[in-house]
Structure 1
Amino acid sequence: RVLLSSLPGAAVTSIKIDGVLHEFDTVPGVREDVMQIILNIKGLAVKSYVEDEKTIELDVQGPAEVTAGDILTDSDIEIVNPDHYLFTIAEGASFQATMTVSTNRGYVPAEENKKDDAPVGTLAVDSIYTPVKKVNYQVEPARVGSNDGFDKLTIEIVTNGTIIPEDAL
């Protein structure tokens, strides 16, 4: 539980898509609706080298299959899974978005990420900060020499790639 809830990480907390006012909207020329785009953005594995909030941008022209590698970042932010699919955009269409990335621990629902002073059309996003995706352990009897009164502990840790499992432990 501690590995899943207490390790710090980075995640997208809000997104502002040009021409979109709410999450049930659509973007002309984009196959996915805004809700699906947000779900795909929540799958980003983001590594932040600073504690402050940072802004990342996405500006693409169609036709294209847009992935996380198309996101424009500065040296303080790294997208660890650049092949992560975001959406498909048709020929002649364009898509501009600004996303806010912050660092924290655990899970923060979209309601807590909402800011009263945010521009109209800014959509708060559920943020899953933990870099650990799965933890499993197994205890087996072990033998050392002629003494069989020992246990062997095997721990399996799966991360999103922003940290290595050894660092999580």
Structure 2
Amino acid sequence: MNKGIKDFQLPMRLELEKETASPTYGKFTAEPFERGFGTTVGNSLRRVLLSSLTGAAVTSVKIEGAFHEFSTLPGVTEDVTIIILNVKNLRLKLHTDKSKAMRLKKKGPGEVSAADIQHDADITILNPELHIATLDKDGMLDIELIVKPGRGYVPAERNKEEGLPIGVIPVDSIFSPIKRVNFHVENARVGRVTDYDKLNLEIWTDGSITPQEAVSSSASILREHLAICIPSEEMKEV
């Protein structure tokens, strides 16, 4: 280990506040950091949490009777644009690294929700109550949805693939399993010195990953990117 590091105050662990923890929310604290390092670590984790974790999202849809996103469907209250906007709000957990297809086929009258989507065991729908469309007595909705793993936000243009069949509509995909991240830094005491940093980090997820898994994955991503800056001999000691 670099001799200079021994002079730094370093936190021993990242603590989870168990009283408020849930599968989708976690509040973490770590102290003491040297002054300024609470912000450095907190901001770095926040950026990676929001941009770099793998999740799953719908990348394209094929709606029977619709050839583009501005189509309307007989017996369906919402037009295709609104249906696609609703589909983009699907929160999914993919238990494979391959793309998968889902099917939604329902006749009216009544509401169509995410719970009506047919899928295999490789997919979990985390918000089955999500409203998709409303059908009158003559309405029918038949949609094929393609789900893929990915990171961050991918616009519909990048989801276009060569040779897509007519009627397949690429959609914007929000892959990130992280819904929100907050952090703030306050003073921490070590002996008589009170200007060390205490990092408070809050993470909200969509349920496809726990906050503990999220922060661990983000820290691992940061470590892998910083490893090139550390001589191999020192890496063996880390």
Task: Establish whether residue 11 from structure 1 lines up as the match of residue 49 from structure 2.
Answer: no
Paired AA for residue 166 in structure 1: Q
Question: Which has the larger displacement, 158-167 or 141-150?
Answer: 141-150
The DSSP-based 3-state class of the residue aligned with 2:81 is: helix
After the TM superposition, which residues 16-165 of structure 1 pair with which residues of structure 2 at under 5 Å, given as runs? 16-143=62-189, 146-165=192-211
**Alpha-carbon distance in 1 for matches of 2:70, 2:83:** 11
- CA deviation map 1:128-166 (0-9, x unaligned): 111112111011113356542332211111112211212
**One-letter amino acid of the structure 2 residue matched with residue 3 of structure 1:** L
The letter of the residue matching 2:116 is: D
**Could you tell me which residue of structure 1 aligns to residue 225 of structure 2?**
none
Distance 1:146 1:160 in 2: 42
- CA deviations on 1:68-99 (whole Å, 9 max, x unpaired) are 11110100111111111111111121110101
Whole-Å Cα distance in 1 between the matches of residues 151 and 67 of structure 2? 29
Q: Which has the larger radius of gyration?
A: 2
Runs of 4+ in 1 over 6 A off after TM superposition: none
The unaligned stretches of length 5 or more in structure 2 are 1-46, 216-238
Q: 1:145 to 1:66 in 2, by over 3 A?
A: farther
Q: Percent identity?
A: 50
Provide the rounded CA distance (Å) in 1 between the counterparts of 2:109 and 2:188: 58
TM, length-normalised to structure 1:
0.95
Comparing 72-81 with 114-123, greater Cα deviation is found at 114-123
Structure 1 residues not aligned, in runs of 5+: none
With normalisation by structure 2, the TM-score equals: 0.68
Structure with the larger helix share: 2
